[in-house]
């Protein structure tokens, strides 16, 4: 059936905005990842057939959940004809089908958060639970998850399979744990939301710099988590503050054509002052309590940027000092890279080059395109043209996001055409905004 263009676009928008929530609810109802994923695809296939004729329902998500649920039951019935072991599952699903999809006192909007806590169960190894949650809950591709961990896609795929098997074999319940059990899962849950947001703020690949759907979901879930947990929770406050302060810049990070805009060139009048005000308040609350950690510190760095009238007016000594504290709390090569750019803004490009060269020699960031991009910009400032060209070429070879590729190609072409060039861009090079690297790959 030929679907009209406008209807096709509407359904694609619903898929992008609602599919992960629909999947989370289907997993709760069906109790099986693979079955729920098949049901999700079946539901959207049915939508493509029915909605152009009948119109989009008033509640598309409820329609998709209900359709997916019954498609799954029909599929299991067909399998049961040839596999007696499926009979019990059919009976369980048919019995459950008579129950409401949303039990009394159950908020369907909590389904994603429940699924995150399930995926983050301590019985599952940390690398596996992070990878599975990003893939299944957040909707990142296996390749995107692999880039977040600087790992191979096949390694990530194996982790996800093992994690799903563990959930099934250990009968891990689909629920938000009791408050006494929250601390052992909270760190991983926060890490998932952090990586989800960063993929939205700076997509690892594709033709968009910003993915607003991921940003919105990460902020929504962080708010939900803050409401769920008893106060005080400085790291939850810190994470939400970090998200809000970065999300406030989103409209200024690309131009009308979707091309990357450097921090120094951004129109700060486009920054969302309401989000900034809320973020600053949350940072102050988080830092004023015992137990704050890396998220609150990163939010404090973002707060310094948010309060500066320009790149030149930014308090770079304070940012370097905050990175020093952050590195003591959470050693990370990406944080060291971010600090190197801040040091370059404070002390001059040669100081930044020395730090980044050391990181690359250690082998930590050799496949991380932003390290080479930062190095190229600093070499440009030092007028070391050949070194800058080599670094830009390396960064361009590694970059996966198309706007970043075009940005790097333009900088490289300009450098090859003339000796001069723009100053280093802290926002592009990773002063505070770059996506974090997860735990070391296995």
Last residue of a domain, one of 201, 230, 259: 230
Instruction: Domain count for the chain, please give it.
Output: 3
Six-digit token string for 15: 């898929």
Whether residues 116 and 92 share a domain: the answer is no
Query: Quick check: is 312 in a domain?
Result: no
Last residue of a domain, one of 230, 259, 289: 230
Whether residues 116 and 54 share a domain: the answer is no
Q: What is the DSSP letter of 43?
A: H
Between vectors from CA 203 to CA 202 and to CA 204, what angle results, nearest 5°? Answer: 115
Question: Alpha carbon 409 to chain centroid distance?
Answer: 26
Query: Quick check: is 409 in a domain?
Result: yes
Question: Which domain covers residue 74, as residue numbers?
Answer: 5-99
Give the model's pLDDT for residue 43: 92
> Mind listing the pLDDT tens digit of every residue in the chain (442 residues)?
566 778 888 888 888 888 888 888 888 888 778 888 899 999 999 998 899 888 899 999 999 998 998 888 887 777 665 555 555 555 555 545 544 454 444 444 578 778 888 888 888 887 888 888 888 877 788 887 887 777 888 999 999 888 888 888 888 877 777 767 777 778 888 988 898 898 888 877 777 788 888 898 899 889 988 887 777 789 999 999 999 999 999 999 988 888 888 888 899 999 999 999 999 999 999 999 988 999 999 999 999 999 999 999 999 999 999 999 999 999 999 999 999 999 999 999 999 999 999 999 999 899 999 999 999 999 999 999 999 999 999 999 999 888 899 999 999 998 888 654 443 344 433 333 334 433 322 2
Whether residues 138 and 50 share a domain: the answer is no
Query: Quick check: is 160 in a domain?
Result: yes
Query: Quick check: is 361 in a domain?
Result: yes
Query: Quick check: is 315 in a domain?
Result: no
Whether residues 45 and 133 share a domain: the answer is no
Q: Give me the half-sphere count of Cα atoms (radius 13 Å) on the Cβ side of residue 144.
A: 23
Whether residues 34 and 75 share a domain: the answer is yes
Whether residues 226 and 117 share a domain: the answer is yes
Query: Quick check: is 194 in a domain?
Result: yes
Give the model's pLDDT for residue 200: 86
Last residue of a domain, one of 42, 73, 99: 99
Contacts of 304 (CB under 8 A, 6+ apart): 314, 315, 318, 319, 322
Query: Quick check: is 302 in a domain?
Result: no
| SS3 call for 391 | helix
Question: Which CATH number goes with the domain that contains 354?
Answer: 1.25.40
Query: Quick check: is 250 in a domain?
Result: no
Integer angstrom CA distances of residue 426 from 18, 105, 143, 229, 251: 34, 47, 26, 35, 18
Whether residues 38 and 147 share a domain: the answer is no
Q: How far apart are CA 124 and CA 133, in angstroms?
A: 11
């Amino acid at each position: 059936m030929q679907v009209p263009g406008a209807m096709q676009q509407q359904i694609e928008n619903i898929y992008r905005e609602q599919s992960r929530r629909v999947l989370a609810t289907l997993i709760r109802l069906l109790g099986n990842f693979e079955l729920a994923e098949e049901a999700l695809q079946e539901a959207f296939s049915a939508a493509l057939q029915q909605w152009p004729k009948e119109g989009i329902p008033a509640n598309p998500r409820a329609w998709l959940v209900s359709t997916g649920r019954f498609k799954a039951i029909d599929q299991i019935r067909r399998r049961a004809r040839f596999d007696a072991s499926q009979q019990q599952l059919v009976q369980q699903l048919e019995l459950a089908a008579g129950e409401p999809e949303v039990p009394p006192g159950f908020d369907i909007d909590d389904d994603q958060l429940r699924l995150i806590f399930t995926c983050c169960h301590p019985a599952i190894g940390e690398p596996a639970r992070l990878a599975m949650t990003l893939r299944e809950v957040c909707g990142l591709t296996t390749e995107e998850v692999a880039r977040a961990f600087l790992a191979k896609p096949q390694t990530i795929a194996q982790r996800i399979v093992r994690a799903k098997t563990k959930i099934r074999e250990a009968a891990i319940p689909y629920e938000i744990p009791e408050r006494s059990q929250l601390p052992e899962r909270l760190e991983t849950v926060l890490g998932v939301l952090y990586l989800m947001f960063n993929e939205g703020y700076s997509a690892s690949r594709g033709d968009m710099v910003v993915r607003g759907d991921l940003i919105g979901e990460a902020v929504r879930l962080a708010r939900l988590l803050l409401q769920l947990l008893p106060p005080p929770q400085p790291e939850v406050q810190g994470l939400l503050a970090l998200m809000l302060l970065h999300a406030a810049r989103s409209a200024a990070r690309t131009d009308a054509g979707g091309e990357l805009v450097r921090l120094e060139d951004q129109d700060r009048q486009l920054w969302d002052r309401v989000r900034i005000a809320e973020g600053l308040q949350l940072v102050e609350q988080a830092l004023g309590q015992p137990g704050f950690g890396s998220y609150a510190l990163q939010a404090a760095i973002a707060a310094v940027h948010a309060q500066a009238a320009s790149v030149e007016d930014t308090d770079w000594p304070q940012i370097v000092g905050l990175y020093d504290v952050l590195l003591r709390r959470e050693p990370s090569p990406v944080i060291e890279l971010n600090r190197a750019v801040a040091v370059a803004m404070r002390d001059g490009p040669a100081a930044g080059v020395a730090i980044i060269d050391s990181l690359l020699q250690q082998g930590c960031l050799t496949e991380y395109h932003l390290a080479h991009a930062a190095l190229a910009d600093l070499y440009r400032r030092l007028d070391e043209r050949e070194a800058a060209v080599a670094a830009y070429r390396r960064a361009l070879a590694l970059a996966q996001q198309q706007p970043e590729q075009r940005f790097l190609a333009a900088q490289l072409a300009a450098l090859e055409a003339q000796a001069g060039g723009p100053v280093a861009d802290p926002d592009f090079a990773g002063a505070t905004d770059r996506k974090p690297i997860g735990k070391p790959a296995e």
